[in-house]
């Protein structure tokens, strides 16, 4: 009984494509500021880069180890404080540490706290872990306001990134230089976190996620696995926090509070927890929405909530899940059979969405009495015409949209059957 | 191998026993499920545990493998007390078990399932500095086991999507992957057709060659064909333990078990 030679290495084309994706990503990060050089874009890109590192770190817990944390921002925030203190110390002691090294100290801040609290937290998974993470989050957030010497109270700890030693002649005052520091750490962290998924620990984390009981019978202590995963997540959250501290030159209690913890959960889940790139998509989308919606409407959190509920109910795999669903169809060459049904569904679905938006804005502004201006069209919240329009859009849109969605499902089933027959779908 | 061992008296305690269960009791609340359980399995022996449904066979497996702790009494593995140890500690000492109800990593591929079961034994443990795809001994061993359990062609399928019989084979593969010297299989053929059972039994026979095997099995032709020794468990107590011939002749067994359910 000799083993048949089974190659586990993927075909050469796959390897090329794999490195191709990473290289394209890195190239895009390098040229982005050259194409979009306005201050606003640079700020957005910087925030997105930080959000991606944070969301990827969160997915080490949620997607890879099956740990639902409501307090991940604790490590992000503590990383931010650690970075601020470090920057101030570098300046006051005259240490020869330039700014690009500072996120490492943010990571260490996040890691040290993970090492301390992680062991108790990860004793159990599931609801127990979720509850403890919530408690720790509240505990740290409230302590941060009490321990003024460390956290600087309401005002937080400020710092001056330009006071650190220069590197390559860069002062890191201009946003574009900060962007490149963030991009550098984004690439480094993403590669490291991806590599982590391909190590024995990474694979056993998946096993612990799927079946913590059985893991014990193949030699592993699931508690140790969860703890190590938690420490890695804490470290990379700290790196993200350090980047935030550099970006804003401040760390305050808002960084480690429940809102940040909720936001990273939200981004990661919307992006899709089952694929490595899911949280990247989620972080990009949510950061853009956040930047865009806050200026447009006062009830932007409501929209976040609706999107979140929609994803949980209709696409639990997130955006990445929706995209990857199509892969077998692309391979089987049947994708084109579902595209027409998508196009047909666009009109009523958009109508429904407009109706919902109009309804929300009408209700939100009714008491305030300010005029509504949606996509350049003004509406009066007190006018019955507006209400009728909203009602027609919602009811009519929903009615027609449902029919078109059913068409999508049918077209999808047919395409999937063909894909299955051709052996592209299990 | 088995011929040499079956001459040995399994009841003799001491260094020769792979598994030694002594005076174990297990109560769930007030209900005594296992009462004064004594069991000895010699090294290299194929030992079948039979008994009616609810007799406590799976509970016995749970007690030995550390899944649950005995209320009193002790369990020894190769002469060392293991009762009270955690399951992974017992597993690291060379005892591996399967589950009656399939217990695999449902969202991971067949390949990943088996590979995870190989990692500890090959010394890679919690390593986060090694690429799991470039560990030659892990890859070879995983490929070998997939080949053994006839699942090579299904290697990339998520375990949750396998057919029932395939999942049962994967269950066996995960159990033997670590190379444990003491293997415990809890009803590995339950729910299988005749042909599937035959295939599974020859698989088990081959894969546990030279190892100690404890197996729970309902099919009497399988039991009497495979086992060197048999223990009969009724109401949490072993009423007889001996060679297939001794068990066949034992009046207590006939009365309690074989008499009503003989095949
Ligand atoms: N965790 C538990 N709590 C309470 N009762 C249990 C537990 N596990 C098993 N039992 C009971 O112990 C008895 C023996 O079960 P089991 O060992 O599964 O039997 P067998 O494997 O011989 O069919 C059954 O009556 C079962 O209901
Ligand atoms: Mg049972």
Q: How far is the CA of B186 from the centre of ligand 2 (A)?
A: 7
- A17 found inside a domain: no
> In terms of domains, do A222 and A336 share one?
no
- What is residue A165's DSSP assignment? P
> In terms of domains, do A70 and A139 share one?
yes
Question: What residues in A contact B158, CB-CB < 8 Å?
Answer: 426
> In terms of domains, do A237 and A386 share one?
no
Q: Which residue's CA lies nearest to atom 6 of ligand 1?
A: B28
Which residues make Cβ contacts (< 8 Å) with residue A277, sequence separation at least 6? A271, A320
pLDDT for A369 equals 60
Which residue range forms the structural domain that includes residue A408? 327-421
Query: Mean pLDDT, to the nearest integer, of A410-421?
Result: 90
Q: Please, which pLDDT band fits residue A9 given cuts at 50, 70 and 90?
A: very low
- A4 found inside a domain: no
Which of A300, A317, A344 lies at the terminal end of a domain, its last residue? A300
- A5 found inside a domain: no
- Chain-chain contact of B133 with A198 (C-beta, under 8 angstroms): yes
> In terms of domains, do A286 and A366 share one?
no
Q: Please, which pLDDT band fits residue A364 given cuts at 50, 70 and 90?
A: confident
- A278 found inside a domain: yes
Q: Closest approach of chain A CAs to the CA of B39, in angstroms?
A: 22
Q: Which of A218, A220, A274 to mutate to test the interface with B (most CBs of B within 10 A)?
A: A218
Tokens representing B103 are: 């217990």
pLDDT at B13 over 60: no
> In terms of domains, do A233 and A368 share one?
no
Query: Mean pLDDT, to the nearest integer, of B174-203?
Result: 94
Q: Indicate the number of domains in chain A.
A: 2
What domains does chain B contain, in order, with CATH numbers?
Answer: 18-261 (3.40.50.300)
Question: What residues in B contact A215, CB-CB < 8 Å?
Answer: 88, 116
pLDDT for A189 equals 98
At B93-112, the pLDDT tens digits run 999 999 999 999 999 999 99
At A88-139, the pLDDT tens digits run 999 999 999 999 999 999 999 999 999 999 999 999 999 999 999 999 999 9
* Mean model confidence pLDDT for chain A: 92
Radius of gyration of chain A (CA): 24
Backbone angles phi, psi at B214, to 5 degrees: -120, 125
- Chain-chain contact of B88 with A219 (C-beta, under 8 angstroms): yes
Pick the residue from chain B with its C-alpha nearest to A195. B131
- A19 found inside a domain: no
pTM: 0.92
> In terms of domains, do A102 and A220 share one?
yes
> In terms of domains, do A91 and A200 share one?
yes
Query: Mean pLDDT, to the nearest integer, of B162-168?
Result: 95
> In terms of domains, do A406 and A281 share one?
no
Which stretch, A52-61, A139-148, A283-292, A295-304, has highest mean pLDDT?
A52-61
Which of A285, A300, A315 lies at the terminal end of a domain, its last residue? A300
CA distances from B179 to A282, A294, B46, B172 (A): 43, 59, 16, 12
CA distance A284 to A243: 16
- A43 found inside a domain: yes
> In terms of domains, do A177 and A274 share one?
yes
Touching B: A residues 206-265, CB under 8 Å = 206-207, 209-211, 213-221, 224-225, 228, 232
Q: Which residue's CA lies nearest to atom 25 of ligand 1?
A: B54
pLDDT for A293 equals 86
**The domain that contains A252 carries what CATH number?**
1.10.3470
3-state SS, chain A, equals CCCCCCCCCCCHHHHHHHHHHHHHHHHHHHHHHHHCCCHHHHHHHHHHHHHHHHHHHHHHHHHHHCCCCCCCHHHHHHHHHHHHHHHHHHHHHCCCCCHHHHHHHHHHHHHHHHHHHHHHHCCCCHHHHHHHHHHHHHHHHHHHHHCHHHHCCCCCEECCHHHCCCECCECCCCHHHHHHHHHHHHHHHHHHHHHHHCCHHHHHHHHHHHCHHHHHHHCCCHHHHHHHHHHHHHHHHHHHHHHHHHHHCEECHHHHCHHHHHHHHHHHHHHCCCCCCHHHHHHHHHHHHHHHHHHHCCCHHHHHHHHHHHHHHHCCCHHHHHHHHCHHHHHHCCHHHCHHHHHHHHHHHHHHHHHHHHHHHHHHHHCCCCCEEECCEEECCCCHHHHHHHHHHHHHHHHHHHHHHHHHHHHHHHHHHHHHHCCCCC
How, if at all, do strands B80-81 and B212-216 pair? Answer: unpaired
pLDDT for B78 equals 96
Query: Mean pLDDT, to the nearest integer, of B115-122?
Result: 97
pLDDT for A422 equals 85
Q: Which of A356-360, B70-74, B231-235 has the lowest mean pLDDT?
A: A356-360
Ligand in closest contact with the CA of B190: 2
> In terms of domains, do A260 and A348 share one?
no
pLDDT for A11 equals 52
- A296 found inside a domain: yes
Q: What atom of ligand 1 comes closest to residue B56's alpha carbon?
A: 17
Query: Mean pLDDT, to the nearest integer, of A323-329?
Result: 91
Q: Which of B90, B108, B116 to mutate to test the interface with A (most CBs of A within 10 A)?
A: B116
- A321 found inside a domain: no
Q: Please, which pLDDT band fits residue A1 given cuts at 50, 70 and 90?
A: very low
Q: How far is the CA of A363 from the centre of ligand 2 (A)?
A: 60
Q: Which of A312-316, B158-162, B225-229 has the lowest mean pLDDT?
A: A312-316
Q: Please, which pLDDT band fits residue B10 given cuts at 50, 70 and 90?
A: very low
Which of A300, A335, A367 lies at the terminal end of a domain, its last residue? A300
Q: In which region does residue B77 sit, left (phi positive, over 0), alpha (psi from -120 to 50) or beta (all else)?
A: beta
A250 compared with A363, residue with greater pLDDT: A250
Ligand in closest contact with the CA of B33: 1
> In terms of domains, do A277 and A137 share one?
yes
Q: Closest approach of chain B CAs to the CA of A395, in angstroms?
A: 39
Query: Mean pLDDT, to the nearest integer, of B207-216?
Result: 96
pLDDT for B136 equals 97
> In terms of domains, do A389 and A283 share one?
no
pLDDT for B114 equals 98
Angle formed at CA A205 by CA A200 and CA A207, multiple of 5 degrees: 95
């Amino acid at each position: 009984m000799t083993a048949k030679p089974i190659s586990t290495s993927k075909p050469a084309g796959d390897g090329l494509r794999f490195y191709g994706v990473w290289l394209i990503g890195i190239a895009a990060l390098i040229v982005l500021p050259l194409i979009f050089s306005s201050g606003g874009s640079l700020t957005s890109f910087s925030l997105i880069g930080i959000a991606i590192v944070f969301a990827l770190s969160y997915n080490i817990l949620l997607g890879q180890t099956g740990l639902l944390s409501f307090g991940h921002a604790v490590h992000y925030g503590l990383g931010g404080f650690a970075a601020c203190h470090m920057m101030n110390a570098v300046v006051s002691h005259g240490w020869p540490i330039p700014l690009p090294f500072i996120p490492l100290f943010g990571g260490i801040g996040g890691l040290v706290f993970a090492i301390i609290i992680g062991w108790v937290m990860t004793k159990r998974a599931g609801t127990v872990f979720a509850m403890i993470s919530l408690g720790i989050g509240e505990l740290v957030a409230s302590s941060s306001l009490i321990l003024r010497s460390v956290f600087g109270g309401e005002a937080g700890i400020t710092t001056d990134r330009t006071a650190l030693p220069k590197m390559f002649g860069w002062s890191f005052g201009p946003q574009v230089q900060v962007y490149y520091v963030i991009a550098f750490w984004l690439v480094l962290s993403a590669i490291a976190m991806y590599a982590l998924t391909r190590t024995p620990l990474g694979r056993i984390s998946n096993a612990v996620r799927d079946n913590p009981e059985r893991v014990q019978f193949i030699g592993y202590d699931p508690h140790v696995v969860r703890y190590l995963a938690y420490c890695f997540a804490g470290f990379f959250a700290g790196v993200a926090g350090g980047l935030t501290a550099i970006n804003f030159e401040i760390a305050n209690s808002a960084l480690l509070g429940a809102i940040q913890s909720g936001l990273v959960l939200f981004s990661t889940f919307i992006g899709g927890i089952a694929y490595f790139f899911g949280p990247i998509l989620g972080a990009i989308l949510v950061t853009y929405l956040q930047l865009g919606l806050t200026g447009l409407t006062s009830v932007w959190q409501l929209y976040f909530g609706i999107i979140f509920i929609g994803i949980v109910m209709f696409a639990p795999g997130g955006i990445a899940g929706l995209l990857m669903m199509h892969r077998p169809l692309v391979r089987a060459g049947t994708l084109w059979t579902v595209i027409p049904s998508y196009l047909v569904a666009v009109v009523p679905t958009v109508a429904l969405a407009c109706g919902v938006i109009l309804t929300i804005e009408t209700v939100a502004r009714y008491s305030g009495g300010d005029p509504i201006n949606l996509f350049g069209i003004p509406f009066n919240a007190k006018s019955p015409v507006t209400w009728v329009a909203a009602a027609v859009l919602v009811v009519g849109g929903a009615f027609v949209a449902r029919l078109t969605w059913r068409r999508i499902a049918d077209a999808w089933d047919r395409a999937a059957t063909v894909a299955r027959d051709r052996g592209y779908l299990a | 191998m088995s011929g040499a061992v079956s001459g040995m008296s399994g009841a003799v305690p001491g260094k020769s026993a792979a598994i030694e269960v002594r005076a174990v009791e297990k109560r769930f609340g007030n209900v005594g499920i296992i009462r004064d359980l004594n069991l000895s399995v010699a090294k290299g022996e194929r030992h079948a545990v039979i008994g009616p449904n609810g007799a406590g066979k799976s509970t016995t497996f749970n007690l030995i493998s550390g899944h649950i702790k005995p209320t009193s009494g002790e369990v020894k593995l190769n002469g060392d007390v293991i009762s009270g140890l955690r399951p992974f500690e017992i597993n690291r000492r060379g005892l591996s078990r399967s589950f009656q109800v399939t217990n695999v990593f449902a969202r991971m591929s067949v390949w990943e399932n088996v590979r995870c079961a190989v990692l500890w034994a090959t010394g890679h443990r919690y390593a986060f500095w090694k690429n799991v795809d470039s560990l030659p001994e892990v890859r070879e061993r995983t490929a070998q086991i997939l080949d053994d359990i006839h699942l090579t062609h299904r290697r990339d399928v998520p375990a949750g999507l396998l057919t029932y019989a395939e999942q049962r084979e994967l269950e066996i593969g995960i159990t033997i992957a670590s190379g444990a010297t003491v293997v415990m299989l809890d009803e590995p053929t339950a729910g299988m057709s005749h042909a599937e059972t035959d295939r599974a039994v020859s698989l088990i026979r081959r894969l546990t060659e030279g190892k100690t095997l404890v197996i729970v099995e309902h099919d009497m032709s399988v039991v009497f064909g495979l086992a060197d020794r048999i223990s009969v468990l009724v109401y949490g107590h072993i009423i007889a333990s001996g060679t297939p011939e001794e068990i066949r002749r034992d009046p207590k067994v006939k009365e309690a078990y074989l008499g009503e359910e003989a095949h």
